[in-house]
Chain A
Amino acid sequence: MTSPAPFAEVRREFVAGLGRRIETMQQALSQLESRFDAEAAQTLYRAAHSLNGTAGSFGVEDVADAAGDLEALSRGWLEHKLLAADEWRAATAALKELDGAVRSYRATAAAGSVRSSAARLAVVGELTSLISAAVDMREIFRGAIEKVQRVLDFRRASVVLVDHDGSHYYIQTLYDRARGGFVPGEASFPIGQGLTGEAIRTGRPQLVNALPGTEGILLQEGRRISAMIVPLHVSDRVIGALNFGHEAEGHYTEEDLDWAVVLGRQIETSLYYSTLLNTIAQQREALAHEHATVQGQRNQLEALIDASDAAIMLVGPDGKIAYGNAEMARLVGIPHEAVVGASVETVHRFLRGSFVDAAALAIQENVLLQDAARRDRVELTFPRRATYQRVVAPARDTSGELLGHIVLYRDVTHEVEVEKAKTELVSIVSHELRTPMTSVKASLGLLLAGAGGTLEPAAHELIEVALRNADRLIRLVNDLLDVSRLEAGRMEFRREPVWLEDTIAASLEMVAAFAKGRDVTLRAEAPREPQQVIADRDRVVQVFVNLLSNAIKFSPQGGRVDVRSWREDGFVVTEVRDRGRGIAPEQLKLVFDPFKQLDSSTTREHGGAGLGLTIAQGIARALGGELRAESEVGKGSRFFVKLPEAPRG
């Protein structure tokens, strides 16, 4: 079996002989300048014909073209045995062109071990430009191998890449000259196998000039071959390798390896940019998607806010309006487009004139500088006189970062009017009820006293029922009146120093009979020193009577109710404690709620309208104090009345 003449040697000879061929042609052409010479024409024709053929087979088109021109001219001369002067000049020009093409080719072509640095630099430069043109990996590898051919001699070149888990490498691009160029190759090898595996594992370039050839390696069974392997890195990681193989033993030099490494670096760079560009492209796509999603949500949110009948704006941390809806623009009295981006000072300047109470705007300005929310009601005169529910609250993103403040105004004029009407209705109805009830009560009382004559026992019993229930109704009406007065803030109080001990004693006296009837002991602990509060004595007694009645009602037979008081931070606290069944936590929240107890069956069992605690709390608050409760199911309840202490003089 004969192996084909190594391609590189043929090419090396070809390149080496080019100079001599040009010289031969120049001599022959100069002999033809003055007259036709058959021998010289024959020499020129043969040289041009030969060069045309070989240059063509090496793919050096411009050399082949110029040689072809010379070949055609000289053949004509041989056929006609004469030559014209202009034909000679054309031949001279063609030869000059040929000489230039040959020099150019010699400058870039590789010839044996003397590979031109200029050509290699040129290829490096071309690889650099490949980087900016190609983004696809395969395109980069193919382009690189095609260009490297010109400066490095190989039978086979390949790019292998490490797979995703790092256990194998596979052939990504394979060029085999003997098989006519790029061939499909998908073979995969364990990372521990072969020289390529070693280069990838160690990250070091490999040069071998006597590798035993196998079926798998260049199909050179039984011969020794040459190979260079350059690992390819991207971001400190070996991602694959660049392989060159040659059939001849001892073909590659250390210089060749250096060049291969330089080429490898270029490919790495382009790979790096390729991955980078891919990553950037992916990120851009992801960002665009995210942006679209966020924009969509934002649009929905803005549509929602715009559709709201409340005036809403977001004041950014920079003091500019980041968002404001049309309703807010109307409230401020500026065009909607002018709201966003306006400074909060500008908006406030426009709003200032609308406030009935100028202090309300100052509150808003203050809250915007703080981290706390505020809800209140304000009166505005523009765009119409109305009561607004105002909310100023800090807005935060999911990480807790302050985005600014939400400012919201909702017109609650109608709600306020309805509330007022309800309170007035209750007040009027209660007053109207009291008059007929008084007549009913008085008449029944007279009947029982015998004003209508002596009553049969059965009649007496029925009139007693009527009188008891008339009293119950009057108490209920009075309670309703108190609740509606407290709600409207129309309950009148005298505020004067009141001795607490005296008030407690009066209250205990009022419930003494009730307690006795239920067999409940009342015990008041005398304070260490006299305590005085600023309050309305009768109303304080009302509070205590309410609390004591409740405590007695819910005490077991033979139980005890304790009352004690103490001073605390400018207040005097009075505790009323029972040892009854207690109140469950969810019920405890409701005990001060009006009408919550009204429906409850416990009220009838214990004989009351269920408004007592609501009224007691309303009075305590109106007097600048508080009423709160603690309770434990099965152990009893404790109510604490807190009232402002009178100045001690």
Chain B
Amino acid sequence: MAEPVRALIIDDDPDLLLLVRRTLEFSAGWEVATAGSGAAGIELARNTRPPPQVIVVDVMMPGIDGYEVCRRLKRDPLTAGIPIVLFTARRDLNPRELAESGADGVVFKPFQPAELAQQVLELCR
């Protein structure tokens, strides 16, 4: 059996964080770490050994938002290689902001629990 995928989920809504974690653990057997804010997420991404293989980050968060998390991680040589997927309920994302953030893809809420892991992996390819 293949090694489980190591993922980091960053979202300020604790309920959602719990549901995403359970979804990925239960449906795909991933190893999931979570962070409740942009700042905590960046910290975790830099200091986890071995580093996460994929990061899923909520766009709208107080303080450091998803775009900013993306920009900072992509600028840092330590984390620049990790694929990042944005997670949002909004269908009207600003395409320029999205492109400038360097994100690898977007997953829209509400998500289908059974397809989430597959969707994230496809976007990271």
- Do the beta carbons of A601 and B22 come within 8 Å of each other? no
- Do the beta carbons of A601 and B62 come within 8 Å of each other? yes
Q: With A468-B15, A604-B12 given, is the CB distance from A462 to B22 under 8 Å?
A: yes
> Could you tell me the distance between the alpha carbons of A469 and B15 in the complex, rounded to whole angstroms?
8
- Do the beta carbons of B15 and A605 come within 8 Å of each other? no
Bits for B50-78, please: 1 = Cβ < 8 Å to A, else 0.
Answer: 00000000001110010000000000000
Does B18 lie at the interface of the complex (its beta carbon under 8 Å from any beta carbon of A)? yes
Q: With A601-B60, A601-B62, A605-B62 given, is the CB distance from A465 to B18 under 8 Å?
A: yes
> Could you tell me the distance between the alpha carbons of A605 and B61 in the complex, rounded to whole angstroms?
8
Does B13 lie at the interface of the complex (its beta carbon under 8 Å from any beta carbon of A)? yes
Partner of A605, one of B12, B18, B22: B12
Does B80 lie at the interface of the complex (its beta carbon under 8 Å from any beta carbon of A)? no
Bits for A595-632, please: 1 = Cβ < 8 Å to B, else 0.
Answer: 00001011011000000000000000000000000000
Query: Which residues 446-491 of A sit at the B interface, judged by CB distance below 8 A?
Result: 458, 461-462, 465, 468-469
Partner of B13, one of A461, A462, A604: A604
Of the four ranges (under 10, 10 to 19, 20 to 34, 35 or more), the interface on chain A belongs to 10 to 19
- Closest A residue to B59 by beta carbon equals A601
- Do the beta carbons of B15 and A465 come within 8 Å of each other? yes
A468: B residues at CB distance < 8 A: 15
- Do the beta carbons of A602 and B19 come within 8 Å of each other? no
- Do the beta carbons of A601 and B15 come within 8 Å of each other? no
B13: A residues at CB distance < 8 A: 604
- Closest A residue to B22 by beta carbon equals A462
Q: How far is the CB of B39 from chain A (nearest CB, A)?
A: 13
Query: Which residues 63-112 of A sit at the B interface, judged by CB distance below 8 A?
Result: none
- Do the beta carbons of A462 and B62 come within 8 Å of each other? no
> Could you tell me the distance between the alpha carbons of A76 and B19 in the complex, rounded to whole angstroms?
148
- Closest A residue to B13 by beta carbon equals A604
- Do the beta carbons of B65 and A601 come within 8 Å of each other? yes
B22: A residues at CB distance < 8 A: 458, 462
> Could you tell me the distance between the alpha carbons of A465 and B65 in the complex, rounded to whole angstroms?
24
A458: B residues at CB distance < 8 A: 22
- Do the beta carbons of A601 and B18 come within 8 Å of each other? no
A601: B residues at CB distance < 8 A: 12, 60-62, 65
Query: Which residues 13-60 of B sit at the A interface, judged by CB distance below 8 A?
Result: 13, 15, 18-19, 22, 60
Q: How far is the CB of B19 from chain A (nearest CB, A)?
A: 6
Q: Name B's A-contacting residues (CB within 8 A).
A: 12-13, 15, 18-19, 22, 60-62, 65
A-B contact pairs, 5 of them (CB 8 A): A462-B19, A465-B19, A601-B65, A602-B62, A604-B13
Q: Name A's B-contacting residues (CB within 8 A).
A: 458, 461-462, 465, 468-469, 599, 601-602, 604-605
